[in-house]
Structure 1
Amino acid sequence: MPPTMFNSISISISDEDSDDTTGKMKSRGRRKLRKLGFRGKGDTLRWIFRKMKKWWTVLLFLPAIALLLFEASRLARKPDKDPKLDFVSDNEVAGGNLNSLGFKTRIVNGVKEPCLKILPSKEIKYLEFPMDTEPDFPVKRVLYKSDNNAPYRGGDSALLRQYANATRFNLFTGDQTLHEREKSFKVNETAVVHCGFYSENGGFRISDEDKNYMQTCKAVVSTCAFGGGDDLYQPIGMVEATLRKVCYVAFWDEITRSTQEAEGNRIGEDQMIGKWRIVVVRDLPFSDQRLNGKIPKMLSHRLFPQARYSIWVDSKSQFRRDPLGVLEALLWRTDSVLSISEHGARSSVYDEAKAVVKKHKATPEEVEAQMNQYRHDGFPDDKRFNGKKALSEASVIVREHMPLTNLFMCLWFNEVVRFTSRDQLSFPYVLRRLRVMKINMFPVCTRKDLVNSMGHKRKVKPLTS
């Protein structure tokens, strides 16, 4: 047999065999695709239907489960009071910011930090006031001008009539001339300055019982509501020990008393409502209720002559931090004698003046008189002072009572009497003129941590003549 017959094998493949093999390969491929999850439109719908049929009970309750999870996460984010903290607070009230104790935070260089770095309550309750020391400031003593039985010229001199608010000078303020105003900014060891309470006949009368109580205060948190515009919000967040060291005093007039009594808020026989001692003031010295409100705001050193420290809180706010903790954080730790929040919207006093007129918070004439005087005095249109904003918000003021800060507040008060009641306009001017203050301008978020802002409740009623 020829060799070729053993070495060659002929294999014949028909067209039918080829198609069948290819079909089997395609069928295996489709099964593999189905196994991997690749389906046509009909297969997808049937698969979805089968899954829904199997899990319909879960799908039925899915919205309720989602709602429960959302509520649980929201409650987890809500800053509840730590039961280990010795807080003295009222019951939580639903709605608004009232009685909220949550801590505010901010982002600094990409890191979240608290707006107010206050000590924990277990350390706050052991805080004591620092020992008295002789302050290293050029002003050692402040003397307040009074009538001394001298004839009073009133506010109708030709010099004062050049200014829109000349008639605001009265027996309470004394008649400060422009020459006296300029002289009052000269820093001397003994300062002599107008500072309210010029005459016993000037008004702002307080009962002897209230005066005696105010004489006992070494530190005070104060507020006022004249004209019935705001409610009284109980302070929260202080530790029990602080209540024995700090007074809480709210100044009312008769209008506010009657407004609050109509809503069931009556002053007790001990002159208290909650934690506040209510001091009812009679014979308010100004027709402008905003200006009357500047007296307890700026002249707390005159109202509380024995106090070393004070914290002012606007009546539209609820104070929600421990006072001693605030003093430690904003004064003692920063080596400051006055602490006040920066303005949230603007930095320039001249920009603020335009905003005041635009919002109808003062007349164009009185604002123009103030700005013209500041330009005449060489006050620059600077947006920064010592590296911080030149404008303050001033709804919370924390300060040590000492000759320098007392002088500062007297000068500031005299500016709002002479010009407008918008104290943001005069604060940077007085600060720059005095130039010797150790001041802490804290950011807006710190102020938001200090208070719950509630807003004004009703229109202030003017004084009746």
Structure 2
Amino acid sequence: MSSSMLNSISVSVSDDDEVAGRMRVRVRHKRKKPGARGRADFCRKIVRKAIRWWTVLLFLPAIALLLVESSKLARKPQGEPKSEPVPAEESTGNLNRLDPTTRIVRGVREPCLKMLSQEKLQKLEFPSSAEPNVPLKRVVYKSDSGEQLAAGNATLLPQYAGGTRLNLFTGIQTLHEREKSFKVNETAVVHCGFYSENGGFKISDDDKNYMKTCKAVVSTCAFGGGDDLYQPIGMTEASLEKVCYVAFWDEITLSAQEAEGKVIGDDHMIGKWRIVVVRDLPFADQRLNGKIPKMLSHRLFPEARYSIWVDSKSQFRRDPLGVLEALLWRTNSILAISEHGARSSLYDEGRAIVKKHKATPEEVEVQLSQYWQDGIPDEKRFNGKKALAEASVIVREHTPMTNLFMCLWFNEVVRFTSRDQLSFPYVLRRLKMPGLNMFPVCTRKDLVNSMGHKRKVKPLVRTN
């Protein structure tokens, strides 16, 4: 027998042995799991049952939850009174809170508003002006000099032709005058309310004389009886000596507050607030009347260098000199206002205002169309900040630039809607406002305790 044949046989036998060996291994492996086939059959039966009854299985969790809730109701005592929801605007849970608002920055929790210590606050003095290097040196306010105030002699936007928003208080600003007012030269001549002695917003001589003594002021207003008066907290004795606290009321609010026991003393005070009762309000829309003390504090307090505006729905809870130092002096700013918490674009804000029925679609459309025509882009950022502001707290130095800014802002809320969030970014871009500090929302929350409106806000009143 040749060696080649032996080799071939040897190879053949070896291959058969390997196959047989593998088969024996598989057989032995199966013998080690005698129940595998049974379990597989059982699983297949379960799957078939689940596919058949899947709709019933889908509702089982919901039925179980319903049974649990029903048992809870059955155990509830019959005599237990039903709970009534408390409107958020009537809550007083935030009143007199002084704890700081904080945020996490790079993994470290820190206060949203970094105030000086009490010892340093007591020694604060007003610094020299932070007026930026701008050509504007003086603002002259237009007033009635005998010209005829008639809509027929002015070019008005269509929705206010023959209306009352441009009136004896505001003067009849033409579109040409509006455009010219944004051109900054050494002297600006603008409409800025108080156009005529017959225009309304009457204040007593005693109150006027008091307001002339204020060098710095915290102010608020409540017109129409919609809000209560919340006493400011957190101030130092030094601030009480240097800062006026003035609340503007109309006669409706006066009656409403007196009915709740808040009576003005012989010194015109309620707590820390000097109450100034305004008569003969110039607008049918109370929201628009509220813009006068909000935006024109430089006209109401002619000798004041600084002002802090606080909406009537909030309780001011920080030392005003410390706030001026933190938001103006430390940052070399002349105007400080909060970024908007929900939106960044004025066009998005316009859509939200219409959706919430805070103004009519026609009013908002006219305003936004004008702004688009004037070249205001639909951008969400401006100089690294949100392009939209939340104006419930306004901190500013009374410089020619901020005075002009506030006049132009006021003119916009008169000409268009009273929703000042829409017009703020427009005036900001047109005027190229320097020295602006747009602080984050958490800083605004640290400045005030938000109380909400006590009574429902009335819908916007059309005056045309």
Q: Considering the TM-score relative to the shorter chain, is it more than 0.5?
A: yes
Structure 1 segment 64-463 matched on structure 2, within 5 A: 96-132=93-129, 136-153=133-150, 155=151, 159-164=155-160, 167-459=164-456
C-alpha separation between the residues in 2 aligned to 1:281 and 1:251? 7
SS of the residue corresponding to residue 424 of structure 1 reads helix
In structure 2, relative to structure 1, the CA distance for the partners of 1:353 and 1:157 (3 Å cut) is farther
What is the CA-CA distance between 1:436 and the residue it aligns to?
A: 3.5
AA matched with 1:448 = K
What is the CA-CA distance between 1:460 and the residue it aligns to?
A: 5.2
Structure 1 segment 21-32 matched on structure 2, within 5 A: none
Structure 1 segment 10-89 matched on structure 2, within 5 A: none
What is the CA-CA distance between 1:136 and the residue it aligns to?
A: 2.6
AA matched with 1:163 = Q
C-alpha separation between the residues in 1 aligned to 2:458 and 2:423? 26
C-alpha contact (below 8 Å) 1:156/1:167 kept by paired residues: no
C-alpha contact (below 8 Å) 2:135/2:185 kept by paired residues: yes
AA matched with 2:283 = F
C-alpha contact (below 8 Å) 1:227/1:460 kept by paired residues: no
C-alpha contact (below 8 Å) 1:349/1:381 kept by paired residues: yes
Q: Give the equivalent residue in structure 2 for 1:13.
A: none
SS of the residue corresponding to residue 357 of structure 1 reads helix
C-alpha separation between the residues in 2 aligned to 1:195 and 1:142? 10
What is the CA-CA distance between 1:159 and the residue it aligns to?
A: 3.2
C-alpha contact (below 8 Å) 2:164/2:283 kept by paired residues: no
AA matched with 1:330 = L
In structure 2, relative to structure 1, the CA distance for the partners of 1:460 and 1:388 (3 Å cut) is closer
In structure 2, relative to structure 1, the CA distance for the partners of 1:227 and 1:181 (3 Å cut) is same
AA matched with 1:228 = G
What is the CA-CA distance between 1:410 and the residue it aligns to?
A: 0.2
| Length-normalised TM-score, structure 1 | 0.77
| Length-normalised TM-score, structure 2 | 0.78
C-alpha separation between the residues in 1 aligned to 2:368 and 2:129? 40
In structure 2, relative to structure 1, the CA distance for the partners of 1:281 and 1:385 (3 Å cut) is same
C-alpha RMSD of the superposition? 1.7
C-alpha separation between the residues in 2 aligned to 1:133 and 1:102? 31
C-alpha separation between the residues in 1 aligned to 2:92 and 2:158? 50
In structure 2, relative to structure 1, the CA distance for the partners of 1:340 and 1:180 (3 Å cut) is same
In structure 2, relative to structure 1, the CA distance for the partners of 1:158 and 1:207 (3 Å cut) is closer
C-alpha separation between the residues in 2 aligned to 1:336 and 1:114? 21
C-alpha contact (below 8 Å) 1:164/1:369 kept by paired residues: no
CA deviation map 1:400-455 (0-9, x unaligned): 00100000000000000000000000000000001132100000000000000000
What is the CA-CA distance between 1:346 and the residue it aligns to?
A: 0.2
CA deviation map 1:53-74 (0-9, x unaligned): xxxxxxxxxxxxxxxxxxxxxx
State the number of aligned residues: 370
C-alpha separation between the residues in 2 aligned to 1:121 and 1:356? 42
C-alpha separation between the residues in 2 aligned to 1:352 and 1:460? 19
C-alpha separation between the residues in 1 aligned to 2:313 and 2:434? 28
CA deviation map 1:358-380 (0-9, x unaligned): 00000101000000100110110
What is the CA-CA distance between 1:356 and the residue it aligns to?
A: 0.2
C-alpha separation between the residues in 2 aligned to 1:407 and 1:457? 33
SS of the residue corresponding to residue 290 of structure 2 reads helix
C-alpha separation between the residues in 2 aligned to 1:156 and 1:316? 40
C-alpha contact (below 8 Å) 2:154/2:172 kept by paired residues: no
AA matched with 1:160 = L
C-alpha separation between the residues in 2 aligned to 1:268 and 1:212? 18
Q: Which sections of structure 1, spanning at least 5 residues, go unmatched? A: 1-93
SS of the residue corresponding to residue 318 of structure 1 reads strand
